[in-house]
Amino acid sequence: MSEANENKEYTWINPLGVWGAKGGNYEVTSNQVSDPSDVWRKNTGYKVPTAKVGRLKHYHIWDNHNEKLWKRLRWWPTRRHLLHVKGIYNRKTLNAEKKILDRRPIYWIICMVILFIGPLLFPSSMQSSLLTAGATFGIFAAINVCWTLIIGTASIFSLATYAVVGVAAFLTSWLSINFGLPWFSLPLIGAAIGFGMGGLIALPALRLDGFYYALLTLGLNELCRVYFTTSQEFGSASGGLYGADSYLSESWSPAVQSHASYYIALMILIGALVLFRFVNGKRLGRILRMAPEKREAFAEACGVDYKRARIQIFILTSAALGLIGGLYTAHFRGVAFSIFSFDTVLLGLAMLTIGGIGKAEGAILGTLVVVFLDRVMIEWGPMRHFLIGALMLASVLWLNNGYFGIKQQFNAWRDKKRGEWRSTRTEKGGEALPEEATEIDDKDDLYFRRYDKMQRDYLKTLITPEIIAEHMAKPLGQHSEALERVLLYFRRAKMEDKYALHRVGPDGPFKIIAFSGVRGVSPRVVEDKEYPTEEAGYHGVFMRRVHDLLES
Amino acid sequence: MAEQKIFGYGNKISVKQGDEITFHVNCDGASTAEAQLVQLIHGDAHEAGPGHVEREIDNPVNGAWEVKKQFTQLGNFYSVEDPSSCLAMEKAFSMTCFIWPTMPKKGTRQTIMGRWDTRNNTGYALGISPQGYLEFWVGDGEEVDYITAEMPLLNKVWYAVGVAYDPSTNTATLHQTGVLNRYNSLVGPVVPYELDSHIQTKLRFHPDNKPGVPFLIGGARDSHVLRGDFINDLFAGKLDRPAVLSGAMSHAEFTECAKGTRPAQADLVAYWDTTEGLSENGVGQTLIDTGPNGLDAEGHNHPVRCMTGWNWTGKADCFRLAPEQYGGIEFHPDTVTDCKWEVTNRMTVPEDLPSGVYAIRLRVGPGEGISEEYIVFFVRPRTPRAKLAFLVPTASYLAYGNESLSFDAHIIQPMTGQPPVVTDLDIETYEHREFGLSTYDTYEDGAGVCYSSYLRPVINMRPKYRMSSMNITWQFPADLSIVAWIDKMGYDCDFITDEDVHREGIDCLRPYKCVITGTHPEYVSERMLDAQEDWVQEGGRLIYMGGNGYYWCVGFSEDHPECMEVRKLDSGMRAWAARPGEHYLQTTGEKSGLWKNRGRAPQKLLGVGFIAEGFETAMPFRKMPDSYHRTVSWITEGIEGELIGDCGLAYGGAAGVELDKYDLTLGTPPHTKIIASSGGHSDNYVLVTEELLYAYAGLVGSLDYRIRADVTYYTSWNHGAVFSTGSIGYGQALPANDFDNSASKMLKNVVDAFIKEGALPGSQWTLEEKQWR
């Protein structure tokens, strides 16, 4: 308390005392109200440097349709519109603006267009290797999209994806070679094989999860590899089975063949994406989003049968993987043992990790990066595998959700930084900073904060032992000016956390509670202390308020 | 064990000997409750008084009652009786309506109108999405498909909205256009809002219109395992002229509708003309369909009508002047005027049960706090016998029924000058909000509550209850102090209620020589005022025991006597303010607000009227010089000294809480004498707002001479007279010191004189004085 503000003790005489007032003291020692100029001087400016705020409109924002009829198209057969667009009123201008809530369809279309016109853009020197890599990319991306459904959507940590594809590919190759089955039957047979295998691998998932299940499926993959590589039937001598029927006619020129192979692989990828959309974006996917990892028990208690949904997805996806296996055979005229190899599994895992688990776009980007490094940058030698490892490591170390989680992660980081910086600048309960003001719609609140701060700073100077004693003697009734000012301020507080008494029994005792300020939400008990009478309780409330005032 | 709670209400508040009354009880945590008929004598546990006093009465109704959980349907909506399923639209159809949403971003779905069943996802409806966008949705029993507007709906802005649906192409077109003008919305036309939105899309399937799904305006049917069917997805805001049309309307046709043009009768399936039936005397609960099928809709929980409509131009301030501009009907999702609980038990009032204040006391488990309930009712005699009657201010009980100022109104602490003292009962009622609100509360959407009824538990209309914000008894429990006084003094007294006086008029009062009011009869209807004025002219003698009485003008409709309507406006100490143009009562067509503003200030009948209120202290009265005049000196006879009422249960004095003052400029009869006045009220006592032309510093107890209570007396025709105490605290001062105190003495003097036939004491001392000193 500065010297200027030092309170001079004086005796306050109740002007109503002569009327025989029962409430309020007749005569009490109080303090004269102090000089507010100090408080005013301290509060007429910011204590921290301030800067201009605002963000320049640097891109085009679509207007709304207003009086024009807007015919909205949908993605058949869903109820989704082409773009998830919402009209909003700009908070600065109240202009009606369109906000695209989900830009992904635009990016997907751009990417698909690039993939389709890709061969036109490839340099002629690398045409053939890029087309081959493109085809490989398409098929592996399709596999990884399905894998994402298993690991991401169904949260089943299965490493047997390539085993399913491989088994289907080997069996269909064998059938095609030995029985001359035509290429178009292979995917269907593959799907049946995948379905069967899916059912088989799904069973342990009912009991095992996480690391143990991963080990089990890895073992299964290894088992398949050992079986097929050592089996005469499946070409242990030739490193794989070749000679199956294919949709790529050998009579076509190599250029046509590689182009056809590229586009067919792309179609397979699109097929996998459609599957992804219909599983992840529909009922099954929604059920599983209600039961994310570590919250399964809660979801189950809410009536979500997540296990069933997981197994359904697993089997469905396995059938799709088998189908891809069949197509694989039809595409490459056979299959090599490398499909089972440990590095295939690891490269696949790298593809998923880099892109971010759980997202189709993540699986595709990961596949693109890894396939490009693995198949196109062959001249880099083993270095490229180090690079893949480094990318994977970077993704795991620094990114929460792969490369497609970067934006979200960046925003969260910015929010955190904003919180940190603001806490160093803002004054609790003080004047709003210019940057804080942008977030407050009711500008009256800005003034209230200013006024309230001044009030509190001034009232703090009035709190003395004298007025506390005065209140204790008579909590109700006329009080000295200093106490009256303090009380008037306390009583005018907003409802949130405003104190009151709770009558515990019919005749007391009383406990201090605080109102929620939220309609329909009960008050909370502030402290366990019980006051025997209303008067003691009133004084208890007063002391709490004094404490809060001095703390602020 | 679950917490045991019991709440109930009766179907009547005033019953005659021999009449039947039914009781409706909801109980949690118990299946039987112990019931006991009791006569209530005193209801304040204050140590200065006799404490809680009740007398158990033998009656067959006493004993164990089977009780159960009962559910309450909250919210306003209209249900349409549609036996021939005209609204199960199988062909192309359209719907149009004007809307003024008050909580567009409520976060839950709101239905404007439709034939929608939430449990099965069947039917169709037009409404507002949880995010605040206009939406039309259809369901086929499996899935829901919808079309959503482009721009969000703004709070308190009038829109014309509509949808056209054609099942042949499965195309739905949603229209929304702003019809904001200079008067009708929260903001004016200067704000650069583009309000329009017109969307068309193909839906994936047709709505399945299952039989039995009701068409509702303002809600949709839902279902709950324990509760069964109920109405959910309630709308908050005003609706105007909802309509269903056959055929999918074109954009141009919608534009016509948005201009207010009524579609051709041949195109209509239903057209609920919300202005139809608005009359000189208000309008009822039925919403009339002026379309070809006569599908009238019935309002639930009193949707508020006679509100400004989409086309209000601000010139007419009353629905009687321009009914076509008053098609607005306001819906509140959290209102209730009839809990509609099943009957738990019934009782025929014995013919020999003396007139008085009675209650069914119900107890479960510990039998205190929320496990104890009193269902209060007033028994009046089949044939009036007594000279004295106590007029129970039931209208005012309704006005304050279940108020929650302590919890929601931040102004209450500065007003009362103390922290509230709340009980478990207050918290329970506040948390659950199933028993409706008082006219001192606002709905969740911010609008003031204008309807209050007794077909719901009224938790503060019971003995032992203290108003939490003031920590004193209030209304019913406070009036029990007068009841206890009448009992103690041994007067033969009949009990009649506001409801009886409103229904029967002067006939209800005529048998009595003297009528004594409650401590705070604040809410009165025109018929109640008329009856009392006429009765005083005929020689009736009124003792006004209150402060801030005969203040608000209220209305009751003939078919819903249990439900009171008030609109608070312009001036007066008021918890909310009706919006411009919405100042007239739906139930009667009268202007509501203060009687003072309608030319009937309370001073004209009572001699005094509201001047100040304050809550932490009370003062005694001091005799005024005129009390020594022989015309009135009998009133203070036997009172020693100058002070009257220097003790009491409300802050320790007879003059306190709310104070009334004599005022010739407001119509106090000119020959009125002030017997005593209080003074020295603390600064918590502030001048009432209706006295305020300019606000200036110092309008508080220690600085303004007007802030006081006056005890007044005047005589009327035929030996009629009115005695007023001018303070709420007076009634609560009576029981102090075992009813032996100066306030009690003065009242006894008056009652003794008033119940005697013939001329009043002192009535001969009327010549001009020829004084020597």
Average of per-residue pLDDT values in chain A:
87
The beta-carbon neighbor of B406 closest among A85, A487, A500 is A500
pLDDT higher than 80, residue A40: no
CB contact (8 A) between residue A67 and residue B196: yes
Who has greater pLDDT, A402 or B133?
Answer: B133
Those residues whose C-beta lies under 8 Å from the C-beta of residue B381, and which sit 6 or more positions away, are B16, B17, B355, B494
Amino acid at B299: G
Residues of A in contact with B653 (CB under 8 A): 22
Answer whether B413 sits within 8 Å of A491, measured CB to CB.
yes
Q: Which is higher by pLDDT, A337 or B523?
A: B523
The answer to whether B449 and B442 have CB atoms below 8 angstroms apart is yes
pLDDT computed for residue A552 by the predictor? 78
**What pLDDT score was predicted for residue A7?**
57
Does the pLDDT at position A2 exceed 50?
A: no
At residue A121, the pLDDT reads 86
| Beta-carbon contacts of residue A393 (< 8 Å; ≥ 6 apart) | none
Residue A6 has pLDDT above 60, yes or no: no
CB A507 to CB B410 under 8 A? Answer: no
Q: Which of residues 324-383 of B touch A (CB under 8 A)?
A: 368-369
Report cis status (omega within 30 of 0) of the bond before A77.
Answer: yes
Does A289 contact chain B (CB < 8 Å)? Answer: no
CB contacts of B620 in chain A (<8 Å) are 20
Task: Please check whether residue A511 is in contact with residue A499, taking contact to mean a CB–CB distance below 8 angstroms.
Answer: no
Q: Provide the 3-class DSSP secondary structure of residue A87.
A: strand
B53-85 b/e (C-beta count within 10 Å ≥ 16 → b): bbeebebebbeebebeebebbbbbbbbbebeee
pLDDT at A303: 82
At A537 the pLDDT is 96
Kindly determine whether residue A69 and residue B251, on different chains, have CB atoms separated by under 8 Å: yes
Asked if B39 and B57 touch (Cβ cutoff 8 Å), the reply is yes
Using CA coordinates, name the residue in chain A closest to B422: A502
Q: Does B105 touch chain A (CB under 8 A)?
A: no
Tokens in use for B213? 């799904």
Token pair 């025109």 is at which residue? B526
Q: How confident is the model at residue A290 (pLDDT cuts 50, 70, 90)?
A: confident
Which of A93, A96, A520 is opposite residue B431, by nearest beta carbon? A520
* Cα radius of gyration (chain B): 28
- Tell me the average pLDDT across A392-400: 85
Pick from B643, B644, B652, B660: which is nearest to B728 by CA?
A: B660
DSSP-assigned letters across all residues of A19-61: GT-SSS-SEEEEE----THHHHHHTSS-SS----------S--
DSSP characters over B436-504: ---TTSB-TTSPBP-EEESBS--TTSSTT--BTTTTB--SHHHHHHHHHHHHHHT--EEEEEHHHHHHH
The reported pLDDT for the residue numbered B758 is 93
What strands lie across the sheet with B710-715, from one edge to the other? B493-497, B388-392, B514-517, B541-544, B721-724, B710-715, B673-678, B621-623, B643-644
Name which of B200, B423, B702 is nearest A15 (Cβ-Cβ): B702
Rounded Cα–Cα distance for residues B129 and A35 (Å):
55
- A499-503/B421-422 β-pairing: parallel
pLDDT at A4 over 50: no
d(CA B480, CA B363) in angstroms, rounded, equals 21
Q: How far is A440 from chain B (nearest CA, A)?
A: 18
**DSSP category for residue A374:** I
B7 φ/ψ angles, rounded to the nearest 5 degrees: -140, 150
Test mutation, A12, A89, A99, chain B, max B CBs within 10 A? A89
Closest approach of A74 to chain B, Cα-based (Å): 8
pLDDT at A21 over 60: no
Distance CA B561, CA B11 (A): 11
User: Closest approach of chain B CAs to the CA of A20, in angstroms?
Assistant: 8
Using the beta-carbon criterion (under 8 Å), do B433 and A520 form an inter-chain contact?
yes
Whole-number pLDDT of residue A296: 80
Both tokens of residue B688?
Answer: 């009432």
**Do B651 and A22 make contact, defined as CB atoms within 8 angstroms?**
yes
Instruction: Tell me what ipTM this predicted complex has.
Output: 0.92
Interface of B with A in 132-171 (CB under 8 A): 133, 145-147, 149-152, 154
- pLDDT, position A20: 61
Q: In angstroms, how far is the first alpha carbon of chain B from the final one? A: 79
Q: How far is CA B757 from the centre of its chain?
A: 38
Place of tokens 């309807």: B451
A493 chain-B contacts, CB cut-off 8 A = 410, 413
Q: Which residue has the higher pLDDT, A380 or B665?
A: B665
Selecting from A16, A67, A477 the residue whose C-beta is nearest the C-beta of B198 gives A67
Instruction: State the best of A65, A474, A544 to mutate against chain B, taking most chain B CBs within 10 Å.
Output: A65
Asked if the C-beta of B510 comes within 8 angstroms of chain A's C-beta atoms, the answer is no
Predicted pLDDT at B152:
97
Q: Which of residues 55-84 of A touch B (CB under 8 A)?
A: 64-74, 77, 79, 81
* pLDDT of B1: 46
Please name the member of A19, A476, A521 whose beta carbon is closest to the beta carbon of B417: A476
Q: What is the DSSP letter of B548?
A: S
Tell whether A441 lies on the interface with B, counting CB pairs under 8 A: no
Kindly report, residue by residue over A230-276, the tens digit of the pLDDT.
887 777 777 788 888 888 888 888 888 888 889 999 999 999 999 99
Q: Report strand pairing: B197-202 vs A69-71.
A: parallel
Residue A266 contacts residue A116 (beta carbons within 8 Å): yes
Best mutation target, B198, B412, B413, B649, to test chain A (most A CBs within 10 A): B413
**C-alpha span between B386 and B491 (Å, rounded):** 9
Give contacts of A488 with chain B, Cβ < 8 Å: 414
Nearest to B419 among A23, A477, A499 (CB): A499
Band (pLDDT 50/70/90 cuts) for residue A1 is very low
Tokens of A195: 């379905």
B641 contact residues in A (CB cutoff 8 A): none
Instruction: Take residue B156 and report the two structure tokens written for it.
Output: 């308190």
Coil, strand or helix at B725: coil
**Helices of type H across B546-673:** 603-606
Residue B118 near residue B139, CB atoms below 8 Å: no
Can you tell me the distance from the alpha carbon of B412 to that of B420, in angstroms, rounded to the nearest whole number? 9
Q: Which residues of A touch B617 (CB under 8 A)?
A: 21-24, 476-478
Interchain pair A87, B444: CB under 8 A: no
Instruction: Judge if the upstream peptide bond of residue B130 is cis by omega within 30 degrees of 0.
Output: no
Measure in Å the smallest separation between the Cα of B470 and chain A Cα atoms: 11
How far apart are the C-alpha atoms of B108 and B116, rounded to whole Å?
16
Going by the DSSP 8-state scheme, the letter that residue A301 receives in this structure is H
How many angstroms away from the CA of A18 is the closest CA of chain B? 8
Chain A residues close to B679, C-beta within 8 Å: 19
CA angle B716, B719, B723 (to 5 degrees): 60
- What number of H helices and E strands is found in chain B? 12, 45
**Cα–Cα distance measured from residue B157 to residue B101, given in angstroms and rounded to the nearest whole number:** 7
Give the alpha-carbon dihedral of A320, A322, A328, A334, to 10 degrees.
Answer: -170
Kindly list the residues from chain B whose CB atom is less than 8 angstroms away from the CB atom of residue A477.
616-617, 682
Chain B touched by A45 (CB under 8 Å): no
- Cβ of B625 under 8 Å from any chain A Cβ? no
Dist CA B200 CA B176 (whole Å): 12
Q: What is the pLDDT of residues A92-114, one digit of tens each?
A: 999 999 999 988 889 999 999 99
Please tell me whether residue A208 adopts helix, strand or coil conformation.
coil
**Strands, E, within B364-436: which ranges?**
372-380, 388-392, 421-422
**Band (A497; pLDDT cuts 50, 70, 90):** very high
Q: What is the mean pLDDT of each run of 10 residues along chain B (773 residues)?
A: 86 96 96 97 92 96 96 97 93 97 95 96 97 97 94 97 96 97 96 96 94 96 94 97 96 96 95 96 95 96 97 95 97 96 97 97 92 97 96 97 93 94 93 92 95 96 95 96 97 97 97 97 97 98 97 95 95 94 96 96 98 94 96 96 93 95 97 96 94 91 94 97 97 96 97 96 92 85
pLDDT tens-digit readout, A470-487: 999 999 988 998 999 999
B305: helix, strand or coil? strand
* Number of CB atoms found within 10 A of residue A209's CB: 16
* Residue A520 contacts B where some CB pair is shorter than 8 Å: yes
Q: Cβ of A519 and B619 within 8 Å?
A: no
Structure tokens at A514: 């605080």
B193: nearest CA in chain A?
A94
Residues of B in contact with A90 (CB under 8 A): none
Which of B413, B419, B680 minimises the CB distance to A19? Answer: B680
How close, in Å, is residue B431 to chain A by CA atoms?
A: 5
Q: In chain A, which residues have their Cβ closer than 8 Å to the Cβ of B410?
A: 492-495, 498
Report residue B21: phi and psi, to 5°: -130, 140
Q: What is the pLDDT of residue A156?
A: 84
Q: Which of residues 93-152 of A touch B (CB under 8 A)?
A: 93-96, 98
Q: Which candidate, B387, B374, B377, B389, places its Cα nearest to that of B353?
A: B377
Nearest chain A CA: its distance from B47 CA (Å): 10
> From the centroid of its chain, how far is CA B89?
40
- The 8-class DSSP code of residue B636 comes to G
A539 sits in which H/E element: helix A534-551
**pTM, two decimal places:** 0.91
Q: Which residue of B has its CA nearest to A512?
A: B421
User: Is the pLDDT confidence value at A3 over 50?
Assistant: no
Of B194, B419, B420, the CB nearest to A64: B194
- Burial zone of B316 (CB within 10 Å; 0-12 exposed, 13-18 middle, 19+ buried): middle
Residue A77 has pLDDT above 70, yes or no: yes
d(CA B194, CA A65): 9
Can you tell me the distance from the alpha carbon of A206 to that of A200, in angstroms, rounded to the nearest whole number?
11
Exposure string for A390-422, b = 16+ CB within 10 A, e = fewer:
ebbeebeeebebbbbbeeeeeeeeeeeeeeeee
Which spans in A356-480 are helix H?
360-371, 383-398, 406-425, 434-437, 444-460, 465-473
Q: Which residues of chain B from 379 to 408 reach within 8 Å of chain A, CB to CB?
A: 406-408
Q: Given CB atoms, is B250 within the 8 Å cutoff of chain A? A: no
Residue B318 CA: distances (Å) to CA of B180, B314, B594? 20, 10, 16
